[in-house]
């Protein structure tokens, strides 16, 4: 398989106190920019498409096939995970696995715990047969993602343990104060709760949603407290948009797509490079 799973990367990362960046793709130019940065940094990387924009990107099969081709064409040698972010149904997760994704997140966080466990387990059973990893969520990450806004609901430790122990997931997205999209003021992460849950779970790492906009010193602490996967989407998109906005404003006669979009790609590449260095995953590709 071209793609590896979270199982191949996260336990090692958690053990050695670093995290792997998950960077969301918003067009195939994101794939190229993210891969270029990861290869240059010799860092394992997670490419993710959030379920809500899968259709905009052309569907699961097109994403998996095209991404695989890009990895081959670019002669990428660092480990790459192709992950479905916030898969909203069991069917959608299964379709992603069939299409060639090496990892899926099943987001049953809005369901009662019992149902979340039952449905997550069904995804895990299917994924295991295909050597695909599964992430699941407890609580509610706040903010706005792809047009949907919700408040923060902190994860309950006992619910986290039950979900992990009854399903055998590979990563847990426990909502502990992070938000999707931009933060209003300093993020208030529940570090005490994070430590308590992480100490109990031991081998199963956290995935941090809403990693954009969290100050560097807090990011370092989330890694020390069990996060081995950190999701970044907003910051790449903001850098892309701001760079292109400035370029067009300063050069009103410019209309060449390679000049415009190429500059946007470089902005994404820069953010990804900085995050890889912050997360400590640079030069971890060989381990």
CB of 129 to Zn ion, least distance (A): 26
Active site residues: 85
Distance from the Cα of residue 105 to its chain's centroid: 9
Show the tokens assigned to 96: 């992603």
* CA-CA-CA-CA torsion sign (282, 219, 164, 134): negative
Contact stretch for Zn ion (CB under 5 A) within 15-23, 202-210, 216-224, 269-277: 202-210
Q: Which is nearer to Zn ion, 155 or 265 (CB)?
A: 155
CB of 86 to Zn ion, least distance (A): 6
Give ∠ CA 39-100-240 in degrees, rounded to 5: 45
| Separation of alpha carbons 113 and 127, rounded Å | 21
| Separation of alpha carbons 179 and 164, rounded Å | 22
**For the chain, what is the largest distance between any 2 Cα atoms, rounded to a whole number of angstroms?**
60
Contact stretch for Zn ion (CB under 5 A) within 18-26, 123-131, 161-169, 203-211: 203-211
Q: Which is nearer to Zn ion, 7 or 209 (CB)?
A: 209
Pick from 7, 209, 275, 284 the residue near Zn ion by CB under 5 A.
Answer: 209
Q: Which is nearer to Zn ion, 119 or 231 (CB)?
A: 231
Contact stretch for Zn ion (CB under 5 A) within 94-102, 118-126, 201-209, 235-243: 201-209
Show the tokens assigned to 63: 């994403």
Q: Which is nearer to Zn ion, 209 or 229 (CB)?
A: 209
| Separation of alpha carbons 272 and 269, rounded Å | 5
Size of the site for Zn ion (CB under 5 A): 1
Interacting residue ranges for Zn ion, rule: CB under 5 A:
209
């Amino acid at each position: 398989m071209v793609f590896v799973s979270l199982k191949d990367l996260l336990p090692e990362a958690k053990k050695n106190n670093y995290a792997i960046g998950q960077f969301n793709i918003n067009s195939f130019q994101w794939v190229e920019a993210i891969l270029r940065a990861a290869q240059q940094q010799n860092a394992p990387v997670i490419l993710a498409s959030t379920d809500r924009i899968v259709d905009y990107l052309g569907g699961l099969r097109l994403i998996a096939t095209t991404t695989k081709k890009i990895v081959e064409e670019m002669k990428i040698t660092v480990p790459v995970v192709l992950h479905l972010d916030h898969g909203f149904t069991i069917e959608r997760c299964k379709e992603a696995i069939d299409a060639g994704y090496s990892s899926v997140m099943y987001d049953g966080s809005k369901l009662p715990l019992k149902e979340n466990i039952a449905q997550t387990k069904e995804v895990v059973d299917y994924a295991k047969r295909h050597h695909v990893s599964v992430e699941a969520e407890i609580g509610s990450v706040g903010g706005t993602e792809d047009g949907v806004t919700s408040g923060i609901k902190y994860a309950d430790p006992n619910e986290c343990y039950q979900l992990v122990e009854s399903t055998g997931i590979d990563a847990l997205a426990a909502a502990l104060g992070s938000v999707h999209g931009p933060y209003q003021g300093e993020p208030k992460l529940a570090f005490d709760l994070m430590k308590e849950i992480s100490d109990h779970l031991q081998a199963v790492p956290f995935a941090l949603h809403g990693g954009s906009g969290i100050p560097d010193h807090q990011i370092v602490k989330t890694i020390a407290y069990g996060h081995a996967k950190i999701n970044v989407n907003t910051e790449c998109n903001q850098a892309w948009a701001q760079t292109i906005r400035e370029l067009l404003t300063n050069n009103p006669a410019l209309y060449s797509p390679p000049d415009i979009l190429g500059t946007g790609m470089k902005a994404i590449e820069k953010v990804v490079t900085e995050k890889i260095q912050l997360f400590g995953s640079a030069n971890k590709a060989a381990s």
